[in-house]
Amino acid sequence: MSFSEVLKETVEQVEGAVASIILAADGIPVEEFVKERLIDFNDLSAEASTLIKDIEMASSDLQLGEAKEFSVISDSCGIIMRKITDEYYLALVIKPDGNYGKARFILRTAVPKIEKEF
């Protein structure tokens, strides 16, 4: 299954999901699918690289092991990011009233579909 197919399927399976993106840990976007643009993906990519580094450091400092997923939920949207590999993440953007539980499940099942491509 191609990246674009997985991204589209991920958005379509979650109520309230509007976009998905694969991005590198350094903030470079790889591919995206957008049904509705709630945020600027260039800004998300730039900020995500800092978040990823901070979360990895905190997880290490707390001796929690590898951080596999994190989310930011705000008034305007939620962003859930799931690690594909050490260098790549799959992010899903969801409206505030979206189904966040299903989003987490769908991300967890989507990652194995694309991780072998990395």
Catalogue all structural domains in the chain, each as residue range(s) with its CATH number.
Answer: 3-112 (3.30.450.30)
> Measured on CA atoms in the order 100, 92, 1, 89, is the torsion positive or negative?
negative
pLDDT digits (tens, 9 = 90+) for 56-110: 899 999 999 999 999 999 999 999 999 999 999 999 999 999 999 999 999 999 9
Give pLDDT, residue 50: 87
Name the helix (H) or strand (E) containing 99.
none
pLDDT digits (tens, 9 = 90+) for 12-49: 999 999 999 999 988 888 999 999 888 888 888 888 88
Helix ranges (DSSP H) in 33-115: 41-61, 100-115
User: Treating both helix axes as pointing N-terminal to C-terminal, what angle do 100-115 and 3-12 enclose, rounded to 10 degrees?
Assistant: 170
Give pLDDT, residue 51: 87
